[in-house]
Structure 1
């Protein structure tokens, strides 16, 4: 059985660190905690689980801190988590099975990551992350923000789900400040940096600057395909925010340059036409979304509802406005099969009971 060092960087995580480490109890063989300047009881909590507790002077560089943590690992494989991550209950057995079955020929293990949840606690945003790496292979994180390790060597996909369960809001401007500092210092932006800088700008409604950065990323031939597809969506948000509706539509359509349509893009296109009262065009795109399957092996961010509930409930709205109420009711029933507790679905049930039909 392989041995794994869990390597974490933390700061002021007394509320969640214990929960994270409890969820990994009995799964890893060593715990390395690197504190980057906590002022709360984080170090005390960490000390209950490991003696390998280190201090690291924070330099606005997540990769540097994670690489420092990996350098302190003593086992054959290194694994990383954030303090507000937890191993799912179902994932614990799958993780143990993976440890027993994995051979030392594997260089990297990807695990599913659930980072968003709906009102019933079901995953709404899912994707794979590089999670476990062979220590001797010399893997290094890159990027001051949204750090990652480039996939290489023998890559294995596991099934043990890691859940991101944030308990409190962090500094929402931290990542944006780091990217802006990089720009002021004329530091090199890799394609991944441009993509995530663009996303940060969009999230802070800095649409003109976001448009410029995302367009620069889309012009770069080295950018990852899945990031380019999402960047087209983010660029559309910028264009809408700037009142450039035609340019927004063109940005969404540009995503088709990179690969087959995704459910997320089709729903965005459906919403574009729905909002403008062009219901037939909206129906076309929402039906495309319903007929697609998420590309789970791609590593892309997947919005689960874009492949079932969202297009179904949106088709209900479209057909209702077209006066085709039988179809509208059929799609509402389909939406309910995906999310029977949805307030939209339940309200529609009452609406159709009272609806007069010629």
Structure 2
């Protein structure tokens, strides 16, 4: 782990993982709170690393301190839930030494009932003899190679407080000012930061270059299309937003995230029939476990059902509206949106 000022979350993380691993290595990048004191309750392997605006260098320093056959990384605001702890121990007991890299789920978004809504697979456990190295100063990653296996065990990312919203943009701009050329993956993440900071006109050409790049990973291309469409929406250019989303069908089967976005565009134009078409299309898609992409889980069922309910209500078809709301209720019976709609229809019948 690499940490800085994580006193409010570190103990929670280490308690959830301490019974799963054989050693814990903490690399501190400049804490001025009780982070180190908390870490000492779990390990004596605590090291200092001078922060140089490069996550990959810090992680490689941490990996260099490992002594076991396999290495696993976590962030301080990650945890293993009880069910995933048990699944991890079972995986470890039946481990195949031919595995070089294990991909585990990363749940990073949750609904009010703590069900995952945003999830993807990440390289999580690596064989030390393979000498894997982290690359890229920001949104660091380990290039995949060797024997790779996927396990449906989740690490849950549970933030208690927001991180510095300008940090990533600062690092990218420092890289550019130092003459560092961004590859297609880094360009996507830089453009996404510009989008987060409402710099849409600056983000649009960068995202377009990612979409058109011959070396762009498919999943980054899908994500770039979603962000680019959002930029066009923010610039009140619905037509370009639709065109951007539809281009993804040229190099991938439809994704529910794309279909839902198309549905939203038509919905905001009050073209409910076309919106219905795309929300129904979203419901027919299935996530691919091993594509490595970001999956907004609710776009495969819950969100389309809710939106279909609203579309049919706007079209004065209460039977179908209630049908889709009840279908949403079978997926998330305690969600406030489903319950609100249910009460809305009750009042409408009075």
User: What residue in structure 2 maps to residue 341 of structure 1?
Assistant: 334
Alignment of 1:135-284 (within 5 A): 135-284=128-277
User: Offset of 1:212 from its aligned partner?
Assistant: 1.7
Q: What is residue 3 of structure 1 aligned with on the other side?
A: none
The unaligned stretches of length 5 or more in structure 1 are: 1-7
Match of 1:113 in 2: 106
- What is the count of residue pairs matched by the alignment? 350
Q: CA deviation at 1:180?
A: 1.2
Shift of residue 356, structure 1, vs aligned partner: 5.8
CA distance in structure 2 between the partners assigned to 1:283 and 1:203 by the alignment = 29
Shift of residue 185, structure 1, vs aligned partner: 1.7
Superposed CA RMSD in Å reads 1.3
SS at match of 2:93: helix
Residue 104 of structure 1: how far off its partner (Å): 2.2
Instruction: Determine whether 1:30 maps to 2:28.
Output: no
Q: Is the 1:229–1:258 Cα contact (8 Å) retained in structure 2?
A: no
CA distance in 2, matches of 1:26, 1:355: 54
2:295 to 280, 302, 306: 302
Q: Which runs of 5+ in 2 are unaligned?
A: none
Deviations 1:312-331 (A, max 9, x none): 01011111111222111111
Listed one character per residue, the Cα deviations across residues 247-290 of structure 1 (whole Å, up to 9, x for unaligned) are: 11111111112200111110000010010011110010000011
CA deviation string 1:177-199 (max 9, x = no partner): 11111122220212210111121
Q: How does 1:96-111 map to 2 (within 5 A)?
A: 96-111=89-104
Deviation at 1:355?
A: 3.1
Asked whether the equivalents of residues 195 and 231 of structure 2 are also in contact (C-alpha less than 8 Å), the reply is yes
* Contact 1:228–1:258 (8 Å) recurs in 2: no
- 1:332 partnered with 2:325: yes
Provide, for residues 139-176 of structure 1, a one-character-per-residue CA deviation record: whole Å limited to 9, x for no partner: 11111111011111000112321100111111011001
Look up the SS of the partner of 1:139 in the other structure.
Answer: coil
CA contact 1:11–1:35 (8 Å) conserved in 2: yes
In 2, Cα distance between equivalents of 1:211 and 1:132 = 36
Q: Normalising by structure 1, what TM-score?
A: 0.95
Distance 2:96 2:275 in 1: 50
Instruction: Name the counterpart of 1:45.
Output: 38
- Once residues 153 and 272 of structure 2 are traced to their aligned partners in structure 1, the CA distance between those partners, rounded to angstroms, is 42
Partners of 2:102 and 2:245 in 1: how far apart? Answer: 33
Provide the secondary structure at the position in 2 that maps to 1:51. coil
> How far 1:350 moved relative to its partner?
2.6
* Consecutive aligned runs of 4 or more in structure 1 exceeding 4 Å deviation: none
Give me the TM-score of the superposition, normalised by structure 2: 0.97
Q: Give the secondary-structure state (helix, strand or coil) at the position aligned to 2:208.
A: helix
SS across alignment from 2:152: coil
